[in-house]
Chains A and B, each alone.
Chain A
Amino acid sequence: MTSVVAGRRATDARIGWLEQTVGGITANIEHAIFTEQHARSEGWLQRRDPRAKLIGFLMAIIAASLASSVVGLALLYAATLAAARASRVPFGFFVKRVWLGIPFFAGIVVVPAIFFVPGDRVFDLALGPAHLAPSWNGLAGAVLFVSRVGVSVSLAVLMVVTTPWADVLKSLRALRTPQVFVLVLSMTYRYIFLFLHTANGILLARKSRVVGRTSGREQRRWITGTMGNLMSRAFKMSNDVYAAMLARGFTGEVRVYSTYRMRAADWLALGATGAFGVAAVLASRVAA
């Protein structure tokens, strides 16, 4: 009897965890993508034309990829932090958002290389027939890799937190992205919010009505049923949205409205970013 109860509790806990996770993920995405609080503050990057920002950040990321030593990456990262400061992005928020996850994910990729790259060993720990012996060359390569990923991600994060998503998507036109992709991405962004909102609402509605314990099987059935319900709602809404497009004269040819104007300050910032990127790459080559 005890084991049955324990098993049931374990199932309840697992489903409770699943519901909490789904709810947590949707709430966090909703907050992260749609708050845009930093994109709306008055800062240096927020005043730049989104197309100039997109191309500038792209150039900086390419420079980070080409940098062959930590010196060049350090220069790029220092410039990124300065830009974040000038754009009123909180230092702690920005640094933590990037560096709490990057060493872990990039580290997993690079850890084997620390041991397999030939060269002088940092130490040599014998574990029976095997040896745990990281090399200096492997360690240097790992630091360079993690730094490169960290700087690139910092640049991408800075671009995203200082630019409303609608502008990020529309600025893709500067890279000759077809209008239909821009429209589809914009609509996806628009309706992901609605979808998340609906999903959160369904979770809350269920939570408010569940007063006793329900079986794991019933809860799994509810989750799959909800997925089907959401899909059918999304399908109906897509038909309605298409009808709304037709009602406003859509004939299949996509046209995206842009009110952007490149000013002297934007051109200057773009040129300075390009020059700084080249300088960082050259400095890294010299240092290497």
Chain B
Amino acid sequence: MIVAEQKPLPEIIEMVSPFKKLLILGCGTCVKTCFAGGEEEVAVLASILRLDARHKGKDIQITELTIERQCENEFIQEASEAVSANDAVLSLACGAGVQDIARRFKNTPVLPGLNTTFVGVMESRGLFTEECLCCGDCRLGMTGGVCVLARCAKKLSNGPCGGSRNGKCEVNPEIDCAWQLVIDRMTCLGTLDSLRQYCPPRDWRSSNSAGPRKLLREDMVI
């Protein structure tokens, strides 16, 4: 899923300060799952902003709404009425959701309430880890299902650097050395020898290095 976290409150308060009528728009898919932008987070943030405004003697009207996904037109339409009734939208979606809302409602300022952090998993409740850089050229089959691009701090393709210690990365002892995970897994699978093979430099054109990517599924176009 796309993992995000709420921006620091002072930053949000500063961003919304010019507006009298604000829609806080939640997103009910990825960011809800990572406790950053679902109904509950919308409600809590709305309460905080109301309290803050009252404390400062300012007048602000806040509307709360959460739609299923802010990156799909079908759901975005559900927000039309609420968007047009407000001065601005504080979107609690990932960066894609924020942009899709901004694209559809040209005359309303749309502000990001979250920092989109990574594509990852919830390893355990409340703990999220980065797993994928969306490079567009998946090599997980060669590294035992562990992405060394996303999970090795030096993006090494041909084995661990000299800083791997007790299975942890030198950059942060809280993080597993991706190559240790690869080697453990491939030892288990009996395929460690295949790591002897040279892995050539990547063709970064599949990533956003060659500019923003577009994917056209002609079979699905109506």
A and B from one assembly?
no
